[in-house]
Copies of this chain bind each other. A is one copy, B any other.
Amino acid sequence: MQLNETHDPTLRSWVAGADDRDGDFPPQNLPYGTFRHADDEPWRAGVAIGERILDLGRLATAAPFDGLAGEALAACAAPAHDGRLNGLMALGADHWHALRLALSRGLRADADAARRAPLEAALRPMAGARHATPAHIGDYTDFYISLHHATAVGRQFRPDQPLLPNYKWVPIGYHGRASSLGVQPAFRRPVGQTRPPRDGEPPAFGPSQRLDYELEMAIYIGPGNPQGQRIPMAQAEGHVFGLGLLNDWSARDIQAWEYQPLGPFLGKSFASTLSPWIVTLEALAPFRAPLRRPAGDPAPLPYLASDGNASAGAFDVRLQVDLSTELSRRAGHPAATLSRSNFRDAYWTVAQLVTHHTVNGCNLRAGDLLGTGTLSGPGPDEAGSLLELAEGGKSPLALPWGETRTFLQDGDEIRLSAHCVAPDRRRIGFGSACGRVLAADWA
């Protein structure tokens, strides 16, 4: 992807808050989401800019853009999509670029009045906005692309062989549950069976005692592929619309008892939390970087080999997990940062995930979601889950206000956030994926 005028770090905007140096949503970003301010409003597709949301549904009624940009805008506003981005996602990179360019030109500080007027009329406050998942997500696949996470978790179960023999060849993934994905602010602690206290006894049953979060990125598919036709590496990123954040909440005790031999099920499917905004691949173009794979590892099989250009590499995205608790919020303490990591430290690229997913002929559809799996980095303070940070419960984490945690307690709130920075660039951010644990509905 070539850098273009939408990436110009000197771009400023006339929209309130868009020029805040620490803000997530400068004019170089322009992420897409779905929002409304009241339950009786229809969901709308929108673009985050500074402290405002540009209402694409309202903007479309003014039809300010011609050509591909106009088609792309109309797709955002089509009633069939109910404010979700599936229509735009299905159109592909030329349309995405055209709409981004048209929005950028209208939002920049030096836009003339004719360009600015329709956008200004379509601005809504970001404060008070509610969000839905930014796409109707047909299928959700969750991968496992952090070597550091796989090794740390594997070590707890198989100290002699933390990493299974397939890991460095196969981008390991599994099908996830789409219905329980949401931008929901809270969910109930799951109930279920867990391993019997002693072999041969009946399993235990009740609220999960080992509830955890997982720090992941969310990859949204753009145009899909027909069933039976795989997507080669050279075309893979053309099928990706953008990235968001994903918290793949996990009940470790339910999962440990149920997952043999077919994988995670009820330990995951109670809730997964998405961030409201999707940052497009085009917005991420200035933040490409090589993967940091360990030297000496085997080269990927030919179908997963990149053509060597930068676009096949990684994204330098800085990730962060923050925790607040009932006690910390009541006492007015700031949230505690549990860890920081970087998407660059993943073992497989976004393109490799798309190509691997379709190599067997599986069809992806616009709006499908690929989770990366927990994005832990190489250092002990870069772990993306409590399972790793507290070593499976053995090393309770001390919080600044005096509490400790091995797993999540009722009332705990986890906020995932992320941003990109680079020399001579404007910071762009992902907003956050935020969720709170409620007590189990269980007597």
Q: Which residues of chain A have a CB within 8 Å of any CB of chain B?
A: 138-139, 141-142, 144, 154, 164-166, 169-170, 172-180, 182, 184, 187-188, 190-193, 196, 199, 202-203, 205, 224, 227-230, 251, 254, 257-267, 269-271, 298, 301-303, 356-357, 359-365, 368, 441
Contacts and interface: CB of A to CB of B under 8 A. Distances in A.
Given A139-B177, A177-B139, A298-B202, A360 B172 contact: no
Given A182-B227, A230-B191, A175 B258 contact: no
Contact of A174 (B174, B179, B227, B368): B174
Contacts of A267: 360
Contact of A187 (B141, B227, B365): B227
A142 B175 CA distance: 11
Contact of A262 (B144, B191, B203): B144
B188 A228 contact: yes
15 contacts: A138-B179, A142-B262, A179-B368, A188-B361, A190-B360, A190-B361, A191-B230, A191-B359, A202-B298, A205-B301, A229-B441, A251-B360, A262-B264, A266-B356, A270-B360
Contacts of A176: 175
Contacts of A271: 227, 361
B260 A174 contact: no
Given A169-B193, A227-B270, A262-B263, 20 more contacts: A154-B261, A165-B199, A169-B203, A170-B193, A174-B263, A175-B177, A175-B265, A179-B227, A179-B363, A180-B227, A180-B361, A180-B362, A182-B227, A190-B361, A192-B359, A228-B270, A228-B441, A254-B360, A263-B263, A266-B356
Given A227-B182, A257-B166, A362 B266 contact: yes
A144 to B, nearest CB: 6
Contacts of A172: 258, 261-262, 265
B228 A166 contact: no
Contact of A170 (B144, B199, B257, B361): B257
A179 B136 CA distance: 13
A364 B270 CA distance: 11
A287 to B, nearest CB: 29
Contacts of A298: 202
A174 B262 contact: yes
A132 to B, nearest CB: 13
A261 B187 contact: no
Nearest to A172: B262
Contacts of A164: 260-261
Contacts of A187: 227-228, 361
A261 B174 CA distance: 10
Contacts of A364: 179
Interface centre among A165, A175, A182, A184 (most CB of B within 10 A): A175
A174 to B, nearest CB: 4
A270 B138 CA distance: 16
A88 to B, nearest CB: 19
